[in-house]
Amino acid sequence: MRIVIPVLLAVAGGLAGVLTDAFGGRRAGVALSAIGPAVGAGYAAWLVYTLDGNVIAYNVIVGGGGFSGIPAIVLALAALSIVGGWAWFTTSPAGGSAAALVALSGAAAAALSGAVDMVFILVALECLALAAYALVAQSHNARADEAAMKYVVQGAVATSLFVLGTAVLVGVYGGQSTIFAIQATAARAEGMTPLAGAMALVVAAFAYKLGGFPFHSWAPDAFETAPPASAGYMAGAPKVAAVLAAFLVSSLLFGATLLPSWQLSWEIAGISIDIDQPRIAMAWAVLAAGSMIFGNLAALRQRSYGRMLGYSGIAQVGYAMIGLTIGERVVGSTMLLMSAYAFAALAAFLGAEALRCRRPGWDGTIDGMAGFGRSNSVAGLAVAVAMFSLTGIPLTAGFWGKLLVFGAAVGFGWTWLVVIGVLGSVVSFGYYGAVLRAMYFEPAAETPSADEIATCGRAATWTAGAAALAVIAIGITPLIWGLEFVQRFLAFG
Amino acid sequence: MTVINVDLLVIVPLVAALAAAVAGRAARWVSLAGSVATLGVLASLAGSGVFTGQAVSGAAGVASVVPFWALVMDGLSTPLVALTAFLGLIAVLASWGVSERPAPHHALLLALEAAVMGVFLAEDIILFYVFWEAVLIPMYFLIGVWGHERRRHAATKFFLYTLAASALMLVGILMAWFAAGTSRIPDMAADPSVLPATAVFWLLTIGMLVKIPVVPLHTWLPDAHVEAPTAGSIMLAGVLLKMGGYGLIRLVIPLAPTEFALQQPFFAALGIIGIVWGAAMAFAQTDLKRLVAYSSVAHMGFVVLAISTGTAAGLSGAMLGMVSHGVVAALLFLLVGQLYERAHTREIARFGGLGKIVPGWASALTFGALASLGLPGLSGFPGEFVAVIEGFRSFEWWVLPATVGVVLGAAYNLRAVREVNHGPRSGEWATLADLGPADWVPVVLLMVPIVVLGVWPALVTDIAEHALAAIAMLVSGGM
């Protein structure tokens, strides 16, 4: 039962935070909201090293190994984003409850990582979504309201798809909602129509939640309008957890043993094309290709930093979907890719928070970041590291994620996806590089006074620096000590 | 085993880079110490026989439990490692006077040196790729922050162009890694028949050809060279281009020898096109730095031609050509940089009669031009001579156009010398200052190997002999 303690700690932190805030203790409240997930993350990390193998609690959630490693990562992301957004959370009108929401959302993400019950997964996804809707609306302006509404409506569609899929699975296959029970019944059942239908519904729902093409249109608005500190959390942690859940569901319920391969062959102009792949793999492969192509090309056209990160997130999810295409053999590598993305996104958004603090008139564009790397070297470096890691340049964590996932994909015969992935990564430097270009190659627009430098955005700066340092550390240490440390943290037995 | 090991060749410049980054005004002294220490490490390796072509592994490579970190210095890498260490020092001296943000400038130079060292030393293909890409980061910032007018465009173009090529190379590396089941280059090369030869060959080759670069994949080069600060141009022309030639010899031939043997005429054609095109373009330039940049395309064309022969002698010629071009291009870029610092223009047409005004600089330029056109007795000659001779043995009269390139090489170099150094004295430069003692140090340092290699090319070829003979055996099929 120890494995749910991290979730409970984060929930306790969030509740204590919102209560303290209600009685006027804003700073203490935000601090409690950060401490809850931080302690939870520490405990989960400790579980990784003390639990032998995987254990299941209450028949709904698995822990141990990577199933405790991912909760540790998402809770750490929640805690870091609260600390990094300290200035915003402690001063903005609804900042106290926003911090609590981040803590509670972290708890939901931690619960989702390792959930093995369809109804439990649904509830965890909904908790994540509810917190996210509220966080998007935090900026209290017309654009934020519109973005939040768009997000709510589209999220509702995703939820209904997931509910329908779950209803089919539970209704047709024995009335139990545990994945293992459904799996066992489905293996004995004849015909596969209901299972294939449920697969389409559930995969589409996950694609919505992950913001993959063509279910992505809420994402750029949401990331652009949310306050950077919470956007940094939202862009990463919930997706990390959702990818792990998608892995469990798609490999346990819709894997090749239950759903036979999809065989097609046709001839075009003398070239015969044969497809013989598991249905679930084809579904993810199409989504992956679409997300990588669309996300990268759309991000290229953005002037706004937040929107650029939003669209690039679509491409990043596309890379993770290559992992989903291959299946359970690459869970660890894919989770490394997603975790690297989440930390880099956090550093990128917190860097923006530091910039906004430094230049209150910043219009949110990439051009408006001119000279930022020269005027705030720590936050600038953090953003630069994030951009290199998101591109997948060596010496960053992002490189290992992409290397391992792409390498496995080549090995399992998905070279065409890898080609799209690497070309997409090259294209992505077009927009990630634009940020570097603005920050370092252009002169700074204004120089703030010494006082401002001393205090403003300090928390965001140093937290972004810490996240970037983690990205670099995971990028360099495997060269010398190998990937064992990482693999241990992300071992999925 | 030796006490000072190969790993230090990467670690020392890297540590010095970190120190320089925080050293503030003392950065240039830190970086001087760092580059001299790197040369010291190299010299200390002499006892282990690297300069006779012996292979020496880094400590981690010996332990072999380490997944990726494996360095080896053998006959193939030693000449280029020495070139890198030497030009690392020259680049530091060339940027002695950098006044804009000197600390990050010097830090990036040393980081660049460390990364290039890693490329030449990596025994593991993943580590090789890591260093290969890591080279881009410092170079990108060096061009983008400290470059000339069009630096933003040049930096982005350089990064995107080479990133695209190396992304394809990564796919090839992944295919080879997966098929071989190991990422150690010698183990992969032990049985190349298990690799998907065609795909691996072409994907790796594209990565190398863009880096060298060959025509028509060269268009990033003139921009990057011209816009880069002097030290950046020195490193770019001096060592970064060599990564491509080295990669062809170290990776492409051993991993896909039969495919390479089939494609030898293709490489020869690329080499010859590069020689003629580069020389013709150099002849047409009005900007002195652009002229030197295009001459790099021509010189690297000779290297590709030499590699295409696949013979031991041809590969030695390529190695010589790379080392020689490294020092000659470094000298020319250094001189152009010194002129630009004083005159703030590089327009050939605006100069004239500099031989009278700045005799020291002008004679150094003449020396550099003679080395570049391949005057016998200077380092440019033996490598390119061997390239043409071996090319003739393999491809007979097809190499004839390369000799046109040789003539053009003489033409553009001598034209530059004539128009800049001779002719009527242009009044606007009457007060131009000649080279001071500090300027002379790197110039003289670069002249020494140009003369030494010109009269004693065996200095390089003896080191590389055994390694290259083994590779030539792979091409001829006599395992």
Domain ranges of chain A: 1-114, 211-261+275-489
Q: Are B382 and B306 in contact (CB under 8 A)?
A: no
Summarised one tens digit per residue, pLDDT across range B316-326 is 999 999 999 99
**pLDDT value at residue A344:** 96
Summarised one tens digit per residue, pLDDT across range B358-370 is 888 999 999 999 9
Whats the size of chain A, residue-wise?
Answer: 493
For residue A406, the chain B residues in CB contact (below 8 A) are 170-171, 174
User: Within a 13 Å sphere around the CA of A427, how many CA atoms are in the beta-carbon half?
Assistant: 21
Under an 8 A CB cutoff, do A437 and B152 touch? yes
Q: Does A413 touch chain B (CB under 8 A)?
A: no
- Taking one residue from A and the other from B, the number of pairs with CB-CB distance under 8 angstroms is 84
Summarised one tens digit per residue, pLDDT across range B211-248 is 988 888 888 998 999 999 999 999 999 999 999 999 99
B478 has pLDDT over 60: no
Whats the size of chain B, residue-wise?
Answer: 479
Tell me what the pLDDT averaged over chain A comes to.
Answer: 89
Q: Does A444 touch chain B (CB under 8 A)?
A: no
Average of per-residue pLDDT across A80-93: 90
Omega prior to B213 cis, within 30 of 0: yes
Under an 8 A CB cutoff, do B174 and A441 touch? no
Average of per-residue pLDDT across B282-286: 89
**pLDDT value at residue A451:** 53
B412 has pLDDT over 70: yes
B82 has pLDDT over 90: yes
Nearest CA in chain A to B168: A422
Q: Does B68 touch chain A (CB under 8 A)?
A: yes
**pLDDT value at residue A453:** 54
CB atoms within 10 A of CB A71: 37
Q: What is the ipTM of this complex?
A: 0.89
The region that residue A244 occupies, defined by phi over 0 for left and psi between -120 and 50 for alpha, beta otherwise, is alpha
Chain A contacts in chain B segment 160-189 (CB below 8 A): 160, 163-164, 167-168, 170-171, 174-175, 177-178
Nearest CB to B155; choose among A406, A441, A482? A441
Under an 8 A CB cutoff, do B170 and A422 touch? yes
Chain B contacts in chain A segment 361-400 (CB below 8 A): 388, 391, 393-395, 399
Greater pLDDT, B58 or B267: B267
Q: Does A407 touch chain B (CB under 8 A)?
A: yes
Closest listed residue to residue A72, CA positions, set A98, A50, A95, A96: A50
**pLDDT value at residue A448:** 58
Nearest CB to B159; choose among A399, A429, A442? A429
Q: Are B451 and B229 in contact (CB under 8 A)?
A: no
pLDDT band at residue A360 using 50, 70 and 90 as cut-offs: confident
Lowest-pLDDT range, A477-491, B94-108, B189-203, B297-311? Answer: A477-491
For residue B137, the chain A residues in CB contact (below 8 A) are 388, 393, 395
**pLDDT value at residue B90:** 94
Summarised one tens digit per residue, pLDDT across range A324-348 is 999 888 999 999 999 999 999 999 9
Interface test with B, best of A388, A416, A426 (most B CBs within 10 A): A426
Nearest CB to A426; choose among B129, B130, B164? B164
pLDDT band at residue A278 using 50, 70 and 90 as cut-offs: confident
Question: CA Rg, chain A, in Å?
Answer: 22
Under an 8 A CB cutoff, do A480 and B69 touch? yes
Alpha carbon of B94: minimum distance to chain A alpha carbons (Å): 22
Nearest CA in chain B to A416: B171
Interface test with A, best of B148, B174, B182 (most A CBs within 10 A): B174
CB atoms within 10 A of CB B25: 8
Under an 8 A CB cutoff, do B152 and A429 touch? no
Nearest CB to B168; choose among A393, A422, A440? A422
pLDDT band at residue A65 using 50, 70 and 90 as cut-offs: confident
Alpha carbon of B68: minimum distance to chain A alpha carbons (Å): 5
Q: Which of B98-102, B295-299, B346-350 has the highest mean pLDDT?
A: B295-299
Tell me what the pLDDT averaged over chain B comes to.
Answer: 88
B65 has pLDDT over 70: no
Chain A contacts in chain B segment 41-60 (CB below 8 A): 60
A449 has pLDDT over 80: no
**pLDDT value at residue A49:** 87
**pLDDT value at residue A452:** 54
| Residue matched to tokens 């959930």 | A115
pLDDT band at residue B63 using 50, 70 and 90 as cut-offs: very low
- In sequence order, the β-bridge partners of residue A277 are A262
Q: Are B294 and B274 in contact (CB under 8 A)?
A: no
Average of per-residue pLDDT across B410-420: 89
In chain B the first and final C-alpha atoms are separated, in Å, by 30
**pLDDT value at residue A273:** 67
Distance CA B180, CA B174 (A): 10
Lowest-pLDDT range, A215-229, A301-315, B229-243, B255-269? Answer: A215-229
Summarised one tens digit per residue, pLDDT across range A292-302 is 999 999 999 99
Nearest CA in chain B to A428: B160
For residue A388, the chain B residues in CB contact (below 8 A) are 137
pLDDT band at residue B60 using 50, 70 and 90 as cut-offs: low
Average of per-residue pLDDT across B426-433: 78
**Per-residue H/E/C for chain A:** CHHHHHHHHHHHHHHHHHHHHHCCCHHHHHHHHHHHHHHHHHHHHHHHHHCCCCEEECCCEEECCHHHHHHHHHHHHHHHHHHHCHHHHHHCCCHHHHHHHHHHHHHHHHHHCCECEHHHHHHHHHHHHHHHHHHHHHHCCHHHHHHHHHHHHHHHHHHHHHHHHHHHHHHHCCCCCEHHHHHHHHHHCCCCHHHHHHHHHHHHHHHHHHCCCCCCCHHHHHHHHCCHHHHHHHHHHHHHHHHHHHHHHHHHHCCCCCCCEEEEEEEECCEEEEEEEEHHHHHHHHHHHHHHHHHHHHHHCCCEHHHHHHHHHHHHHHHHHHHHHHCHHHHHHHHHHHHHHHHHHHHHHHHHHHHHHHCCCCCCECHHHCCHHHHCHHHHHHHHHHHHHHHCCCCCHHHHHHHHHHHHHHHCCCHHHHHHHHHHHHHHHHHHHHHHHHHHHCCCCCCCCHHHHHHCCHHHHHHHHHHHHHHHHHHHHHHHHCCHHHHHHCCCC
For residue B141, the chain A residues in CB contact (below 8 A) are 440
Nearest CA in chain A to B164: A426
pLDDT band at residue B64 using 50, 70 and 90 as cut-offs: very low
Dihedral angle over CA of B39, B44, B49, B54, nearest 10: -50
**pLDDT value at residue A447:** 60
B188 has pLDDT over 90: no
Distance CA A246, CA A113 (A): 10
Distance CA B43, CA B360 (A): 31
Under an 8 A CB cutoff, do B156 and A437 touch? yes
Summarised one tens digit per residue, pLDDT across range A12-45 is 999 999 999 989 889 999 999 999 999 999 999 9
Q: Does A1 touch chain B (CB under 8 A)?
A: no
Distance CA A489, CA A48 (A): 6
For residue A394, the chain B residues in CB contact (below 8 A) are 129-131, 133-134
**pLDDT value at residue A372:** 86
**pLDDT value at residue A298:** 94
Interface test with B, best of A389, A479, A481 (most B CBs within 10 A): A479
Distance CA B133, CA A429 (A): 13
CB atoms within 10 A of CB A51: 16
Nearest CB to B167; choose among A407, A426, A440? A426
pLDDT band at residue A239 using 50, 70 and 90 as cut-offs: very high
Nearest CB to B66; choose among A423, A441, A480? A480
Alpha carbon of A43: minimum distance to chain B alpha carbons (Å): 30
**pLDDT value at residue B30:** 92
Nearest CB to A433; choose among B145, B159, B178? B159
Nearest CB to A410; choose among B130, B131, B171? B171
Interface test with B, best of A326, A393, A427 (most B CBs within 10 A): A393
Nearest CA in chain B to A422: B167
Under an 8 A CB cutoff, do B171 and A406 touch? yes
Nearest CA in chain B to A421: B167
**pLDDT value at residue A165:** 94
Summarised one tens digit per residue, pLDDT across range A96-121 is 999 999 999 999 999 999 899 999 99
Q: Are A15 and A37 in contact (CB under 8 A)?
A: no
Closest listed residue to residue A335, CA positions, set A403, A407, A244: A244
For residue A415, the chain B residues in CB contact (below 8 A) are 171, 175
Nearest CB to B133; choose among A394, A430, A479? A394
Summarised one tens digit per residue, pLDDT across range A185-220 is 888 887 778 888 999 999 999 999 998 888 888 888
**pLDDT value at residue B62:** 46
